């Protein structure tokens, strides 16, 4: 079980980095204010798109690979959005239950079970996307892709530190 859990964490980390691969080139040099405003926000999205495009170009993909990746991304993006929305709603429901004056343990356990189920579904989707990506790319392309993902992971850890735990709180007094 412990071995499975470690594998799942590794796959989850890789999947998160796959999703964040466009961030690598999109960082603005120098000290820039956090207040992005509307114009800067649009520029940041354009920079991310350009960075992602440049990265994909560096993999020397065939037209067929580009099309398959585009279809794959559309499919998993929509599935991921639905799961994230459900998770967000369930987490809010859990916070609301925990903030009530009287605790209904059965209801809380049921919500936690639903959150766990959705989280497992999300992890499975990420692993499926990694496998699908690996099937589309050549071994050399996938290796380059992994190196870029690991580079992004390292930069994110350096910039934001490693998060531990669930984060956030369930409301006042907790």
Q: What is the pLDDT of residues 154-163, one digit of tens each?
A: 888 888 876 6
pTM: 0.60
Structural domains of the chain, with CATH:
2-21+42-160 (1.20.120.1490)
Residue 98 in contact with residue 170, Cβ under 8 Å?
yes
- Whether 16 shows a pLDDT value over 90: the answer reads no
Q: How far apart are the first and last CA of the chain?
A: 31
Coil, strand or helix at 25:
coil
Please report, rounded to a whole number, the percentage of residues in the chain having pLDDT higher than 90: 41
What integer is the mean pLDDT of 64-81? Answer: 91
Residue 18: both structure tokens together:
């796959």
Distance CA 37, CA 23 (A): 19
* Per-residue pLDDT at 114: 97
Distance CA 169, CA 80 (A): 24
Distance CA 45, CA 27 (A): 11
Q: pLDDT grade, residue 50 (50/70/90)?
A: confident
Instruction: Kindly report the average pLDDT of the chain as a whole number.
Output: 78
């Amino acid at each position: 079980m412990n071995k499975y859990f470690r594998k799942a964490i590794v796959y989850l980390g890789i999947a998160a980095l796959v999703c964040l691969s466009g961030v690598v080139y999109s960082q603005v040099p120098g000290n820039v204010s956090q207040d992005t405003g509307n114009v800067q926000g649009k520029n940041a999205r354009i920079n991310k798109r350009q960075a992602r495009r440049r990265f994909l170009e560096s993999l020397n993909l065939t037209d067929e690979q580009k099309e398959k990746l585009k279809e794959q991304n559309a499919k998993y993006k929509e599935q991921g959005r639905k799961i994230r929305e459900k998770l967000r709603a369930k987490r809010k429901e859990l916070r609301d239950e925990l903030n009530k004056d009287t605790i209904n343990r059965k209801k809380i356990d049921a919500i936690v079970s639903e959150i766990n189920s959705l989280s497992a579904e999300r992890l499975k989707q990420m692993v499926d996307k990694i496998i699908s990506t690996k099937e589309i790319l050549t071994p050399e392309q996938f290796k380059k892709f992994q190196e870029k993902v690991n580079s992004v992971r390292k930069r994110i850890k350096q910039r934001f530190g490693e998060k531990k735990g669930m984060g956030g709180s369930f409301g006042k007094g907790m």
